Structure 1
Amino acid sequence: MTLHEIQNQALKLSVEERLKLINILTRSLLPKKHSAIKSKGLAASLIGIAKTDTPPPTEEEVKALLNERLVKKYL
């Protein structure tokens, strides 16, 4: 089938079908990913980034930190 024949056939399609055709043709032009390694999402790659050797703060310490911050904010 020639390009001219394809064009004539495409113009006979409904608007919705032509939009689907555009989408299919556009995706066919994108480079294929050849990576065999499945990439992790951004959130998964950030797990453990803030880990420390110190234990987490206690409830009282968190409340004290929040109070200090509020005092500094309103002074």
Structure 2
Amino acid sequence: MTLQEIEQKVYQLSVSERLSLLNTITRSLQQDLTQRPMQPDKRALVEQLRGCLKRSGEPAPTDADIATMREERLVEKYLDS
């Protein structure tokens, strides 16, 4: 059955049947959206951030290092115009 056929059939249903159908569709969408893996663009962003923090031959930055980098970036962004 095509989408157009389904859309036409919906109008033949009673109000209670359409509400039930709406509830079923809503539940199926909620399940799909909660089970969907992280979107590829978010994964790419995470990988880019990991690459920015990676320094060859040096250990990973500590929380304090990251806090300092963040503070420097905020100063640069808002105070050094």
Q: TM-score, normalised by structure 2?
A: 0.38
Greater RCO (Cα-Cα under 8 Å, separation 6 or more): 1
- Which entry has the higher C-alpha Rg, 1 or 2? 1
Q: Which has the higher helix share?
A: 2
Q: TM-score, normalised by structure 1?
A: 0.40
